[in-house]
């Protein structure tokens, strides 16, 4: 699988030797790492994130079955409408391994795992959730935006205790017609029933982000990275 070098953003006043936390932020289907660059640049205006590196990876380009085999950036294949009866387990786990390699890169730069947040929107959020709950070292938190938990039937057997108490921020638009709010709530309920710490947020929007959500994201990141 070919992965382009991730986009990396920091406050332009910050000496990179002072970076002590990282946020790895995954885009949605058909987008790339630049998709959330404007949001991250907005966050970086806050002094809260002076010492934070944002890593925005690019998904590999693969044929997406749901889109008639059209080749586009995707973290895994999608076979039908969401929710689906069939999931691309091999593709999901390949993306998990790639995100774990990005975490390892941050560890090699001297960032403690407890200072690393996994974030993602839509398909990227699914991978962020999937990876974080299986990761063998404690993470700072998870941002799961307009998304769901994939391979949910395997959560109990595959989850790692290291992130049993990781703070999870889940957000959804009440008018989302790509991944329905009900699907997001099913994932939220599954996580809460398994005693994960999930904060749930709803916004008057479709499958997107909004100013109110960005403000809440900023507050969440401030809390978990303080």
What's the pLDDT tens digit per position in 50-59? 999 999 999 9
- pLDDT higher than 70, residue 84: no
- pLDDT higher than 60, residue 72: yes
Q: What is the mean pLDDT of residues 3-32?
A: 94
Catalytic residue among 122, 146, 180, 187: 122
Neighbours of 87 (CB within 10 A): 19
Per-residue tokens: 72: 């586009």
Task: Give the pLDDT confidence of 160-197 residue by residue, as tens digits.
Answer: 999 999 999 999 999 999 999 999 999 999 999 999 99
Q: Judging by DSSP bridges, how do beta strands 70-73 and 61-64 pair with one another?
A: antiparallel
pLDDT at 226: 87
Whether 176 sits among the annotated catalytic residues: the reply is yes
Q: Which domains does the chain have, with CATH numbers?
A: 7-225 (3.40.50.1820)
Whether 122 sits among the annotated catalytic residues: the reply is yes
Q: Judging by DSSP bridges, how do beta strands 21-26 and 116-121 pair with one another?
A: parallel
pLDDT at 83: 55
Catalytic residue among 32, 77, 176, 180: 176
- pLDDT higher than 60, residue 31: yes
Peptide bond into 195 cis (omega under 30): no
> Mean pLDDT of all residues in the chain?
95
Instruction: Give percent of the chain above pLDDT 70.
Output: 98
- pLDDT higher than 60, residue 64: yes
Q: pLDDT band at residue 85, thresholds of 50, 70 and 90?
A: confident
Whether 108 sits among the annotated catalytic residues: the reply is no
Catalytic residue among 58, 130, 172, 207: 207
pLDDT at 82: 61
Its pTM stands at 0.97
Residue 23, CA distances (Å) to 7, 8, 80, 98, 103 in order: 12, 10, 31, 15, 10
- pLDDT higher than 70, residue 11: yes
Q: What angle do CA 46, 48, 53 make, to 5 degrees?
A: 95
- pLDDT higher than 90, residue 159: yes
pLDDT at 13: 81
Q: What is the mean pLDDT of residues 1-7?
A: 93
């Amino acid at each position: 699988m070919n992965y382009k070098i991730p986009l990396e953003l920091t406050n332009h006043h910050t000496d990179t030797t002072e970076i002590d936390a990282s946020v790895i932020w995954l885009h949605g289907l058909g987008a790339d790492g630049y998709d959330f660059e404007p949001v991250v640049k907005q966050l970086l205006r806050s002094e809260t994130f002076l010492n934070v590196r944002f890593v925005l990876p690019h998904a590999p380009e693969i044929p997406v079955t749901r889109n008639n085999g059209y080749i586009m950036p995707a973290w895994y294949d999608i076979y039908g409408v969401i929710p689906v009866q069939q999931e691309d387990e091999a593709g999901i786990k390949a993306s998990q391994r790639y995100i774990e390699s990005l975490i390892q890169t941050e560890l090699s730069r001297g960032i403690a795992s407890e200072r690393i947040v996994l974030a993602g929107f839509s398909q990227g959020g699914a991978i962020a959730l999937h990876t974080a709950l299986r990761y063998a070292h404690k993470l700072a938190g998870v941002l799961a935006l307009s998304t769901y938990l994939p391979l949910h039937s395997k959560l109990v057997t595959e989850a790692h205790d290291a992130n049993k108490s990781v703070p999870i921020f889940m957000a959804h638009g009440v008018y989302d017609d790509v991944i329905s709010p009900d699907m997001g709530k099913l994932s939220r309920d599954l996580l809460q029933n398994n005693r994960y710490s999930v904060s749930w947020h709803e916004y008057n929007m479709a499958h997107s982000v909004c100013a109110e959500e960005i403000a809440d994201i900023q507050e969440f990141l401030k809390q978990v990275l303080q």
